[in-house]
Chain A
Amino acid sequence: MSAVLADMSKTERAKTETSKTIAPATSKAIAPSKGGRPWTFYVLAALFVAYVLALYGPMFCIYILSFQDIRGGLVFPMKGHSLHWFVDLFTQVRTGDVKGSFDRSIKLAVIVTIITVVVSFLAGLGFRRRFRGDTIVFYMMIGSLVAPGLVLGLGTGLLFQALGLNASWYTSALGAQLSWTLPFGVLVMFAVMSRFNHAWEEAAYDLGASRWQSIWLVMIPVLAPGLIAVALFGFTLSYDEFARSLQTAGSLNTLPLEIWSMTLNVTSPSLYALGTVTTIVSFIVIGASLGTIVLIQKKRGSRAKR
C-alpha cells in the first residue's frame, strides 16, 4: 500500500499532464472507456462488494453490540442501548488494567513510530546505492519480517533473562516491536525512494547545499507524504502488536495483551467495548495520516497548476 500512497502523487502529476496533452483514445483496453461493460465487470464488482462487506461487516457488528445495556450478550439481537459496557470497561477490576495498558500502548507506539521513521529514512538513504554486504542487511530484514513473532519474542525474553535484565514494555518489548515495524518501514521507504526524482537533489548540490542541507531542506519536504506513511505503519503495527510482545512485555501488559487475556476469560460486551475503543484510536490515526498525505498532494497539485 506504500506504493499506492506514493502513487497518489503520480496520479496528481498524471492529471496535470493529461490536461495538457490529448488523452489516448483507449487508455484501458480491457475495459474500454466508452461502450458497455463486459459481463466480467459485474461478476468482479459483485465479488469486490462481497469482499468489502465481509471485511467490514463483522467489525461493525461488534461496534453495534458494544452499545447494549446491562442485559447485553455476545450475539444479536441488541438488548437496549447504553454506554454501560464502556463504563464497565474502565471501572471494573475484573476486566483488568485497561486504562494502564491503554496508556502504555499509546506511549510505546509513539516511541516506536519516532524510531521507525528515523531509522527507516536513514536505511532508505543507505540502500539507494549498492554497498558491500547490503544483501546481508536486506535479507536480515526480510528474515525479521517473516520469522514467527512468538519465537522471536521467546528468544528475546530468554536473552534478557540470560543477561540478567528485566523484561519491560519500554526495553525488550520496544526492541521486539521494532524488529517488526522496521522491515515494514524500510520497505515503504524503498517504494517512496524509487519515485524520488534525483534531479532535485542534484540541483541542491549544484546550488551549493551540503549533504545535510540537501537531506533536511530538499529530501525530507519532498518525501514528507512517504514519511507519514512510514509513521502510520510504525504506530498502528506497534499499537496492535501482540505475538512479539507476549514474552517480552514483562509484568505490565500492553493493550493487545490485555485484549488477549480478556478473550480468554471475559464473556461480556466489555470485550466488544474495548474493541470499539481501540478501533476508534486506530481510525483516528489512519484518518489523520491519510488526510495529511492527501492534503500535501492537493497543495502540490494546485501549486503545479499555477
Chain B
Amino acid sequence: MQPIPAQSPAQSPTPSRSNLAGWLYVSPLVLVLVPFFVAPILVVLAASFFATDGFGGLTPGFTLASYVEVLHSALTLKLYLATIKFTVLTWIFTLIIGFFVAYFLVFHVRNQLLAIGLFLLCTVPFWTSNIIRMISWIPLLGKEGLINQALLALGVIRQPLEVLLFSDLAVVIAYVHQLTIFMIVPIFNSMARIDKKLIEAAIDAGASRFDIMRLIVVPMSKSGIALGTIFVVSIVMGDFFVVKVMSGGGSASVVSAFYEDVGVLQYPTAAASAVLLTLVLVAIVSLILRTVDIRQEITR
C-alpha cells in the first residue's frame, strides 16, 4: 500500500497504536479466512496422514500410507501430465489472445470511453455462470452442432467430426473461453499505465514499432502477465468440472481424480493428492511471484 505515505496526518499515532488499528480493521477478514481457509487446509493436511476404514470413517493417527499409495500409482503421473498439458495449452492461448486484445484496447482504440466500453464488454461474461458458459458450447461443437453442420455443408468433411465435443480439444476451448478474461484485465491495467510520452520519445529516437513492442510494451506489461498467469494456472490446475463435462469422462485431471476419490469416500488418498497438488501450486505461484511484487502491483 504505497499510495499513503506519511501524509495521513489526522492520526499519526505511535507504531503500536497503528498496528492495533490495522489489525482491528482487518480482523473481520481474518475471522472469515481462519475458519474457512486456514482450518480447512489444516484439516485436509491432517486427513492425509490418517488411516481409513474404507467407508468414510477416519482413524486419527500418523501414517504415510496415502502418500506412498498416491506416489506409487502410475495413474498419478498420468494425471499430472494431463493437468500440465491442459495448463500449458490454456496458458499459451489465453496469453496470446489476452495480450493482443489488451494491446488493441490500450494502443489502438483512440476514444478512451470507447476503450472502457469495449473492455467492459469483455468482462461482462466473467460475472455470469461458468457452468452455463461451458455447456453453451454443446450446440456448437456437438456431433450435430453448428460447426459440423457448416463443415458438412461446405463439403470440407464427409463425416461429422467427433473430436470437437467430449475431447481434449473441447476442454481447452472451454478453458480459453472462460479464462482469457483473467489475462486481459491485469495486462490491460499494466499497459494502461505505460506513459505515452515514453513511446513518443522512442519514436523520436528512431525506434520501429516492433522495437517499441519488444523493448517497452512487453517488459512493462510483465507484471500484468505474471498476475494473469497466476490466475489461469491456479484455476486450470484446480479445476475439475470443465475436464469432467467437456471431455465426456474421457480425460481426467488431478482434481477430477480427487473428486472421484471423495465420491468413494477415500478421504486420505484424496487429501494426500490434494496436499501434493497444493505444494506444486505453491511452488509455481512463488516462482512467478519472484518476478513481480504482486502486492505493490495491485495497490499501485
Contact = CB atoms under 8 A, between A and B. Distances in A.
A87 interface: no
A230 interface: no
Nearest to A57: B140
Contact of A175 (B32, B116, B146): B32
Nearest to B233: A146
A190 B298 contact: yes
B33 interface: yes
Contacts of A186: 29
A45 B114 CA distance: 13
Contact of A198 (B7, B140, B274): B7
B67 interface: no
A51 B133 CA distance: 15
Interface in A4-38: 4, 7-8, 11, 14, 26-31, 33, 37-38
A52 B28 CA distance: 39
Interface stretch (A95-103, A220-228, A277-285): A277-285
Nearest to B176: A54
B97 A47 contact: yes
Interface stretch (B19-27, B69-77, B151-159): B19-27
A249 interface: no
Interface in A74-117: 74-76, 115
B110 A150 contact: no
Name the interface size band of chain B: 35 or more
A146 B281 contact: yes
A131 B238 contact: no
A182 B4 contact: no
Contacts of B145: 75-76
A179 B35 CA distance: 9
Name the interface size band of chain A: 35 or more
B1 interface: yes
B65 interface: no
Contacts of A187: 298
Given A44-B108, A47-B101, A131-B21, A3 B189 contact: yes
Given A31-B108, A278-B132, A176 B36 contact: yes
B278 A118 contact: no
B21 A28 contact: no
Given A55-B177, A150-B240, A158 B33 contact: no
B8 A236 contact: no
A170 to B, nearest CB: 14
Given A31-B110, A61-B139, A240 B196 contact: no
A198 B1 CA distance: 14
Of the candidates A74, A145, A151, the one having the most CB atoms from chain B within 10 angstroms of its own CB is A151
A236 B124 CA distance: 11
A201 B8 contact: yes
Contacts of A201: 8, 10
A155 interface: yes
A128 B136 contact: no
B206 to A, nearest CB: 13
Contact of A259 (B3, B129, B137): B129
Contact of A148 (B19, B146, B212, B274): B274
A41 interface: yes
B41 A155 contact: yes
A159 interface: yes
A141 B36 CA distance: 11
A251 interface: no
B111 to A, nearest CB: 10
Nearest to B198: A29
A252 interface: no
A162 interface: yes
A176 B116 CA distance: 33
B135 A52 contact: no
B234 A240 contact: no
A125 B259 contact: no
Given A151-B44, A259-B129, A131 B234 contact: no
B237 A148 contact: yes
B180 interface: yes
A292 interface: no
A232 interface: yes
B152 to A, nearest CB: 13
Contacts of B238: 146-151, 243
Interface in B106-164: 107-108, 110, 112-113, 116, 118-133, 135-140, 142, 144-146, 149
Contacts of B290: none
Contact of A62 (B7, B132, B299): B132
16 contacts: A4-B189, A29-B203, A61-B136, A74-B142, A75-B139, A120-B29, A134-B22, A140-B33, A142-B294, A144-B37, A182-B33, A193-B3, A259-B131, A279-B129, A279-B132, A283-B128
Interface of B: 1, 3-4, 7-11, 15, 18-19, 21-26, 28-30, 32-33, 35-44, 47, 97, 100-101, 103-105, 107-108, 110, 112-113, 116, 118-133, 135-140, 142, 144-146, 149, 177, 180, 185, 188-189, 192, 196, 199-200, 202-203, 209, 212, 230-231, 234, 237-241, 245, 255, 258-259, 262, 267, 270-271, 274, 277-278, 281, 285, 294-295, 298-300
The 8 nearest A-B residue pairs measured at CB? A155-B40, A126-B25, A131-B22, A148-B238, A205-B10, A146-B234, A58-B136, A236-B127
Given A126-B23, A148-B278, A154-B262, 8 more contacts: A48-B105, A51-B101, A59-B136, A62-B132, A127-B25, A182-B32, A278-B129, A283-B124
